[in-house]
Amino acid sequence: MLEIKEHALLIADSHYPHHGDAFLTILKKLHTGEIKVSQLFLMGDNFDLLFGYNDYIQTFSSEAISLLQTLSQKMEIHYFEGNHDFCLKELFPDIHVYDRNEQPVIFTLGEKKVGLSHGDRFATEVGYDLYCKIIRSRTILTLLRPFEKIIIDDRIQKLSKKNICHTFTGFDTKVKEIMKHYESCDLVIEGHYHQAKVLGKYISLPSLACQGAVAMVKKGKVEFVPLKQIEIPL
């Protein structure tokens, strides 16, 4: 079974480049060795908009994409696609990329069985599930290519102005519904909700864009770490 190792780094919901350069900064420091980790887990929505089968969308995040491609040659990276970044397997051939239907993925952390997912897989509406299926279709993305610049520019403009940081009212109830799908797991790790909370066995990862924090495995436990505290090599 796959293993989460000591000193693993988990980054969720960076929403780069519209909500700060923290994600790019971390990638640069991983590249130079200023930050040293055993594994890198990208838990989805690290790009505010990125999808495969399209060259134009890559121009908005070309430096980060190039760094990830380079890093994947020398370190273990797991990418859990989100609702803002998907169809990435061809773009990142040397990264372990998991699409929405493949999530959650089960890992071990010590003796614990851990389910990892971006977070938009369960306890969702039928309409949202249908939208996710359509937008991830290679056929649909290919058919829309003649109109790509108009569509992408409009979407990019709207995303750049979107307020993505909110307190989720009733989050405890939401988590209870999600956990029904993880009954065999000892621990669940998800992003998506930008809440930075631990509710029993459920870990809602901090959003790098909202809380300016990541998660790291230290002494077998998942800890939330502010950006400035991961700048010292491990």
Give the model confidence (pLDDT) of 152-181 as tens digits. Answer: 999 989 998 899 999 999 999 999 999 999
Q: Do residues 106 and 114 lie in contact, with contact meaning Cβ atoms separated by under 8 Å?
A: yes
Report, as an integer, the average pLDDT of 214-225.
96
HSE-up of residue 66 (Cα within 13 Å, Cβ side): 6
Domain regions of the chain by residue span: 2-230
Residue 234 pLDDT exceeds 80: no
pLDDT digits over 37-55, tens only?
A: 999 999 999 999 999 999 9
Residue 232 pLDDT exceeds 60: no
pLDDT value at residue 231: 60
Phi, psi torsion values for 37, nearest 5 degrees: -135, 160
Q: Which of 3, 52, 47, 1 shows the shortest CA–CA distance to 217?
A: 3
Residue carrying the six token digits 């750049």? 160
CATH class, domain 2-230, is alpha beta
Residue 58 confidence class, pLDDT cut points 50, 70, 90 = very high
Q: What is the CA radius of gyration of the chain?
A: 17
Residue 70 pLDDT exceeds 60: yes
